Amino acid sequence: MGIRFILMVNKQGQTRLAQYYEYLTLEERRALEGEIVRKCLARNEQQCSFVEHRNYKIVYRRYASLFFLVGVDNEENELAILEFIHLLVETMDRHFGNVCELDIMFHLEKAHFMLEEMVMNGCIVETSKTNILAPIQLMDKAS
Amino acid sequence: MTSSTSNSNNNTLGGPSLMETLFQRTVDDLIKGIRLHNPGSAQSSFISKSLDEIRREIKSTDLATKSIAVNKLTYLHSLHNIDISFAAFHAVELTSSPIFNFKKIGYLAASLSFSPSTDVILLLTNQLRKDLTSANVHDVSLALECISAICTVDIARDLTPDVFNLMTSSKNIVKKKAIACLLKVFSQFPDAVRVCFKRLVENLEKNDDQMLAATVGVFCELCSKEPRAYLPLAPELYRILVECRNNWVLIKVLKIFEKLAKLEPRLAKKVVEPICDVMKRSEAKSLVFECVRTIVSSFYEYEFAVKLAVGKIREFLLESDLNLRYLGLQGLLIVGQHHLWAVLENKEIVIKSLSDVDRNIKVEALRLVMSMVSEDNVVEICRVLIGYALKSDPEFCNEILRSMLLTCSSNVYEIVNDFDWYVSLLGEMSRIPHCQNGEEIEYQLIDIGMRVKDVRPELVRVGRDLLIDPALLGNPFIHRILSAAAWVSGEYVRFSRNPSEIMEALLQPRTNLLPPSIRAVYIHSAFKVLSFCLGTFLLPNKDANSSFSNLVDMDPGFTYSESEQEFTETEHGANSSSLHKKDMFTRESIVNLLTLVITSLSPLADSHDVEIQERVRNLLGLALLAQQEISCHHEQKEKRVDWVDLKTYILIRLVNDALSEEFGPISSSAQDRVPVPDGLVLEENLSKLDSICADVQLPISEKFSLVRPTYLPTDGDSLSSRQNEDESETSAAESTSLLAEHRKRHGLFYLPSDNNKNASTSFPPANDPDHIDKDVEDLVKLTEESLVLKRKPNQARPRPVVVKLDEGDRHPTIAVKKIESNDDLISGAVRDVLLGNEPLSQSNQLGKPSGRKKGKAHAKVDQGSELKDNTENSETGNSGKRRSKHRSHGKEKKHSDSGNNVEGREENGKEKSGGRHGRHKAKQSGGGIDVVDQKQVIPDFLL
């Protein structure tokens, strides 16, 4: 199903956002996050952005203190996912203005809202920043 | 409802509801609070305190308070993995609020935290329907997003019409989400396909990128499960491939074509050019890589396309960007399956990548290197790899060793020609400090020893080198290897140049570092070495030979096979060298040896480990007896030739005879073939279990215990052994020379023809062609016993017959189908919609529910007929049984069911001859006409 989950994790390994597109129990999530975070955070800048884990492929990218980890199935195009991560960051950047870890922490529901505009059922459905941000801007105006 | 009553209770009790509203912690407060506390117990106690607060707040009648509470829970759930199932109802409550913000919080909580088993999902259906029909597009999109996250069968069934209506919405944002949502709806409720599929397809024909992205995404996912159903969509997809300039869409379309092209060569021919065009034209690496991957995995027959793709791969490999290099290696790995030249062309880069900084790249490179290995270059590649292993970090070093061991041993050491080299390679591997593959090396050392006769002298040499190195004993990772080395040195001690050296190695003081189980192996090997030494000393050579024949006379069950005799002949060299050895063993050296044994083992006679204790005592018993007699003889010098009178002499002769029996390789299913001894009455002891394991026991007793006497070889064996006997009588010389030649060429030790006496327990070797007959028999048994437990060991053995009977190659989705019958239903429905309206109108007449039932019936028929195919050859009664099973599903289906059954078989027949158009079984609702219809329809759709 394309994207299986999206995680944002800081340097200390604390999860800052977790979105799953398939149902996992809390224990499974905890275990999975732990393993993946350990694996990916141990890697350095000179290593490539793809990690195989169980039956997932993890595509990740680091922005400042935050790691964006996307778990995809083996069919997915890794480079496209890297582009997707970058798009996500740019979108958040446009909305929050110089986005940082705290923005995501304190506006978790907004981050989820953006993600919902971009991805449904693990499929990327929207790639235009303007389209993604339109509803959320409308909402901000209303409140 | 419940919450409001409990809340009013709170109020009447003077609960703190107002205070809570005023001083409620916001989400920000919660987050700050969590940040203030150190991770660990402080934080978790803060969280549990907050949870208590939230539990109270959530019962508030004030929706603002409730929404904050739910929002906090969502935060805790998604980032701290707190179970918030208790709040499910409150989330549902929030979704019904007219205020968008509360609704949003409610839906977010629902989509993130609801599981398929959350019971209040039922309550959500109505609200979802209301929001789907709302005039506010944002309400609608919230509802659609929620459906795509937590859709259940009920929701899908109830809301399909609403989602269907939204697919024609004038608002793009709604329309797009309705399309994306369909994937989930289909997977839960396959009949939705009949309703929505046409509108979905229509979206492929429009030029709106937004819709196209969503639609293609859905098709890409659908296709990955059952591609064949979507072949008729090829023209639309082709148009997108040629016209669309959106990379996201193109990538998905390429993925679809990758699946479809495998099924339809004509389609592949048509699309290979446009794909190459995209690859040449595109600037985007992601798209280029997708083209490369598509071509190398599905279009590998088109030389020019592959050449182009390999060129792109090479560009990737030469990039400085690690990601591209990694993907380049991956691409190369896929090409390599069909075009090894592409890998060889890039050999230098691959080898260089072995020392890359990134482990992932190294692993890919290693896989590639392994894919290049062949008989001709295995020696060279292994030499290079050992070099890299020595340089690498422990983890990767072991990765290298593991893949070398795996590759070299695959298919009974198929690619190894020079076993002397391979055995010394194993020895070399063992000495690599990080080596943690002890278990595998142990297995291979022993396995090769048993399978390959010619290598035994070298094996003993390698074993000796390992044993005498005291430093190795300190490394627990190679204890297993040492155990193998000890066993080999004991078992094949006759090839050793200096047995007493091995004895010293086996008894060296540092062996106390070994775990007891391995020490026991050491001691037993010492026993073998000692009896060999005593044997060479006491028994004159010709006597040793005659002792073989003596044995033959003694045991009527044993007739020495020609191989055994030949063995002794071929080993005459070795024996003649042991003649020299006899000269080497003076009385003095034997006495020294005995003293060594006795002094080093006496302390162990009281070991707490029974294995060690028992073996030590065996060995000491022999050694003490020998010492007594030999040194006693020493005094009466004149009688020195009369060894024959000694007890030791008789004992050693017997022991050596016992030890001279060969071990052979054992098949993984050997246990199943051990005949049950006559005296053993299985039924009596286990009579109470009869009712439970009737299926298991009956065949066993039929096949094994009664029919076959204990030591008689099984059918296949007896046949071959009889042949062998005949041969040995009539044309013994010829066959011997043939065998010898054959062995010279392959260096392999074929058990069945050689060793029918040693293998009197009829253990077959791993790869025994003679056992094909047996395999058929096994297959029959397999169908008799539908017990999974019994099946497993049988399948572990290579069984060509099964592979032939298995329809897997023609039905690639059997496995998937059995697990996810829904996919089958979806594709069935898709076919109905796509291929002519007849089935569709029929199912419309019948109405939805019956349509669904029919789907089920298809699935069952499908499975049934496949199972039957598997067993047809062996058992005809089966199908009857199965059919009756079908019948029990319902009277009204009985008729069509059996009809379909017959048809299914007919179609199978057609498939076998007709080839690729075959797989239409799932679409049998219309009867035989459809099959004809379809065959015409598909080509028409193909451009």
Q: What is the mean pLDDT of residues B393-404?
A: 91
- Which amino acid is residue B594, in one-letter code? L
Rounded to whole angstroms, the Cα distance separating B605 from B618 reads 10
- Better pLDDT: B798 or B509: B509
pLDDT over 60 (residue B132): yes
- Cβ burial, residue B638 (10 Å; 0-12/13-18/19+): exposed
Interface mutation target, options B139, B148, B187, chain A, most CBs of A under 10 Å = B148
Interface mutation target, options B31, B47, B81, chain A, most CBs of A under 10 Å = B81
A2 touches chain B (CB under 8 A): yes
Q: What is the mean pLDDT of residues B256-266?
A: 91
Local confidence band at B67 (pLDDT 50, 70, 90 cut-offs): very high
Alpha carbons within 13 angstroms on the beta-carbon side of residue B927 total 5
| pLDDT recorded at residue A45 | 82
Task: Give B278-321 pLDDT, tens digit per residue.
Answer: 999 999 999 999 999 999 999 999 999 999 999 999 999 999 88
B residues 352-381 near A, CB within 8 Å?
A: 357-361
Q: Using CB atoms, pick whichever of B141, B210, B289 lies closest to residue A77.
A: B289
Which positions in chain B touch A128 (Cβ < 8 Å)?
A: 210
Local confidence band at B604 (pLDDT 50, 70, 90 cut-offs): confident
- Which amino acid is residue B652, in one-letter code? I
Local confidence band at B875 (pLDDT 50, 70, 90 cut-offs): very low
- Better pLDDT: B507 or B777: B507
Local confidence band at B537 (pLDDT 50, 70, 90 cut-offs): confident
* Backbone dihedral angles phi then psi of residue B244, each to the nearest 5 degrees: -70, 145
| A112/B108 touch (CB, cutoff 8 Å), yes or no | yes
Rounded to whole angstroms, the Cα distance separating B289 from B278 reads 11
Rounded to whole angstroms, the Cα distance separating B276 from B274 reads 5
pLDDT over 90 (residue B580): no
DSSP B377: T
Tell whether ipTM is more than 0.90. yes
Among chain A residues, CA nearest to B285: A79
B81 touches chain A (CB under 8 A): yes
A16 touches chain B (CB under 8 A): yes
Which tokens in the block code for residue A39? Answer: 């694996």
Q: In chain B, what percentage of residues exceed pLDDT 90?
A: 32
Rounded to whole angstroms, the Cα distance separating B409 from B916 reads 36
Q: Using CB atoms, pick whichever of B116, B144, B322 lies closest to residue A47.
A: B322
pLDDT over 70 (residue B255): yes
> Which range is least confidently modeled, B70-79, B349-358, B890-899?
B890-899
| pLDDT recorded at residue B383 | 92
| pLDDT recorded at residue B683 | 64
| pLDDT recorded at residue B673 | 76
Which positions in chain B touch A43 (Cβ < 8 Å)?
A: 358
> Which range is least confidently modeled, B67-71, B642-646, B771-775, B793-797?
B793-797
* Backbone dihedral angles phi then psi of residue B676, each to the nearest 5 degrees: -80, 125
| A82/B286 touch (CB, cutoff 8 Å), yes or no | yes
Cβ atoms of B196 and B189 within 8 Å: the answer is: no
Q: What is the mean pLDDT of residues B21-26?
A: 77
Cβ atoms of B937 and B835 within 8 Å: the answer is: yes
| pLDDT recorded at residue B707 | 36
pLDDT over 70 (residue B254): yes
Q: Does domain A3-142 have CATH number 3.30.1330.80?
A: no
Rounded to whole angstroms, the Cα distance separating B582 from B536 reads 5
**How far off is chain B from A30, nearest CA to CA, in Å?**
7
Across the A:B interface, residue pairs with CB atoms under 8 Å apart total 142
- Better pLDDT: B309 or B585: B309
Q: Using CB atoms, pick whichever of B177, B218, B286 lies closest to residue A79.
A: B286
> Which range is least confidently modeled, B180-184, B277-281, B433-437, B548-552?
B548-552
Rounded to whole angstroms, the Cα distance separating B764 from B775 reads 12
**How far off is chain A from B492, nearest CA to CA, in Å?**
44
Which positions in chain B touch A48 (Cβ < 8 Å)?
A: 322-323, 325-326, 358, 360-361
Among chain A residues, CA nearest to B213: A125
Q: Where are the domains of chain A?
A: 3-142
- Better pLDDT: B226 or B11: B226
B residues 109-128 near A, CB within 8 Å?
A: 112, 115-116
Which positions in chain B touch A28 (Cβ < 8 Å)?
A: none
| A82/B323 touch (CB, cutoff 8 Å), yes or no | yes
- Better pLDDT: B653 or B919: B653
Local confidence band at B181 (pLDDT 50, 70, 90 cut-offs): very high
Q: What is the mean pLDDT of residues B173-183?
A: 92
Pairing of strands A15-20, A50-53: unpaired
- Better pLDDT: B728 or A31: A31
A50 touches chain B (CB under 8 A): yes
| pLDDT recorded at residue B634 | 56
Alpha carbons within 13 angstroms on the beta-carbon side of residue A19 total 25
| pLDDT recorded at residue B860 | 42
| pLDDT recorded at residue B521 | 92
Average of per-residue pLDDT values in chain B: 73
- Better pLDDT: B837 or B348: B348
Tell me chain B's radius of gyration from C-alpha atoms: 37
pLDDT over 70 (residue B234): yes
Q: What is the mean pLDDT of residues B746-775?
A: 42
Local confidence band at B19 (pLDDT 50, 70, 90 cut-offs): low
Task: Give B795-841 pLDDT, tens digit per residue.
Answer: 333 322 222 223 333 333 333 334 446 777 777 777 777 766 444 33
Which positions in chain A touch B105 (Cβ < 8 Å)?
A: 109
Which positions in chain A touch B149 (Cβ < 8 Å)?
A: 21
Among chain B residues, CA nearest to A132: B173
Helix axes B456-467, B438-451, angle to 10 degrees: 150
- Better pLDDT: B374 or B740: B374
- The strand pairing partners of A59, in sequence order, are A50, A70
Give kind and range of the element (H or E) at residue B804: helix B800-805
Contacts 24+ apart (CB under 8 A), B168-174: B168/B199, B169/B140, B171/B137, B172/B208, B172/B210, B172/B211, B173/A131, B173/A134, B173/A135, B173/B137, B173/B141, B174/B137, B174/B140, B174/B141, B174/B144
| pLDDT recorded at residue B312 | 94
Q: Give the range with max mean pLDDT: B294-298, B601-605, B662-666.
A: B294-298
Among chain B residues, CA nearest to A125: B214
Task: Give B695-705 pLDDT, tens digit per residue.
Answer: 554 444 333 33
Which tokens in the block code for residue B668? Answer: 């993984």
pLDDT over 70 (residue B543): no
Instruction: Report the length, in residues, of chain B.
Output: 943
Local confidence band at B643 (pLDDT 50, 70, 90 cut-offs): low
B251 touches chain A (CB under 8 A): yes
Which positions in chain B touch A143 (Cβ < 8 Å)?
A: 101
B181 touches chain A (CB under 8 A): yes
Which positions in chain B touch A113 (Cβ < 8 Å)?
A: 104, 108
Among chain B residues, CA nearest to A113: B108
| A123/B358 touch (CB, cutoff 8 Å), yes or no | no
| B286/A127 touch (CB, cutoff 8 Å), yes or no | no
Q: What is the mean pLDDT of residues B165-181?
A: 91
Sign of CA dihedral B379, B381, B384, B389: negative
B629 alpha carbon, distance to own chain's centre = 58
| pLDDT recorded at residue B518 | 92
| A48/B323 touch (CB, cutoff 8 Å), yes or no | yes
| B286/A14 touch (CB, cutoff 8 Å), yes or no | no
| A108/B75 touch (CB, cutoff 8 Å), yes or no | yes
A117 alpha carbon, distance to own chain's centre = 13
Among chain A residues, CA nearest to B68: A109
B108 touches chain A (CB under 8 A): yes
Local confidence band at B631 (pLDDT 50, 70, 90 cut-offs): confident
| A109/B105 touch (CB, cutoff 8 Å), yes or no | yes
List C-alpha distances in Å: B25 to A104, B52, B66, B341: 19, 12, 12, 67
Q: What is the mean pLDDT of residues A30-45?
A: 90
> Which range is least confidently modeled, B74-83, B471-480, B708-717, B719-728?
B708-717
Which positions in chain B touch A8 (Cβ < 8 Å)?
A: none
Local confidence band at B219 (pLDDT 50, 70, 90 cut-offs): very high
